[in-house]
Structure 1
Amino acid sequence: MIFRRGNAQELGRQAESLACEHLQGQGMRLLARNWRCRRGELDLVMLDGDTVVFVEVRCRRHEAWGGALESVDARKRQRLTAAAEHFLQQEARWSRHPCRFDVIAVQHSAGDSPAQLNWISNAFDT
């Protein structure tokens, strides 16, 4: 995917669409997109077999301010975990399924080059 010019929110939406398409191409099913609660937001909630996958999509235009993967710090992980717990409470049918957290880092490329996608499965299990 070649990103159109736009503000940060538009680039974020494009990155989420790219990530969602990629994961669906890998056989995953979309359960929710931009799921919000008072504890935070979940970019994508996918189903991989019987595993509920909470996917954080990060996009950066430039590496100068740190890469997309590095931007998922301990505080962000806590917010994602809290939002995921709330999701499972609200969507009880998924609460007995195994869960994991994935991160997809999208590096916006200049010009006509396609964006680069780096998918880290089970990213919080380190």
Structure 2
Amino acid sequence: MVKTSMSHEDYLEAIVMLGGTTDAPVRSVDVANKLGVSKASVNKAISALKEQELVVQPHYGDITLTEAGYAYGRSVLDRHRTLFDFLTKALGVEPEVAEVEACQMEHAISDASFEKWGAFVRSLDL
């Protein structure tokens, strides 16, 4: 999978969180509200994601993920949830802090390291 920027990963994650799939589109305004950004920022990010063939959007229409975009967005969301659960359940980090830190960590850890870390966490049976 080709990597995109942390910011664009956040957009893909938000689209998945809003229920976006290859069959279920989401509205730009909902993405803007979810991320706390302007609609113009969403349009700019979506243009870049269209160039990477991760989303499809007719001129100012709703946003639909491609197969690759959905897989990428799910991956980012799964990382986030796994990291959040580990921080809160295994380490006792406050949820508000864990939310911010999981978001930062989900972008920084490599796929190979995350796989190994994930196997370790699963062995803990949290």
TM-score, with normalisation over the residues of structure 1?
0.25
Could you say which structure has the higher helix fraction? 2
Comparing both structures, which one devotes a greater share of its residues to strand?
1
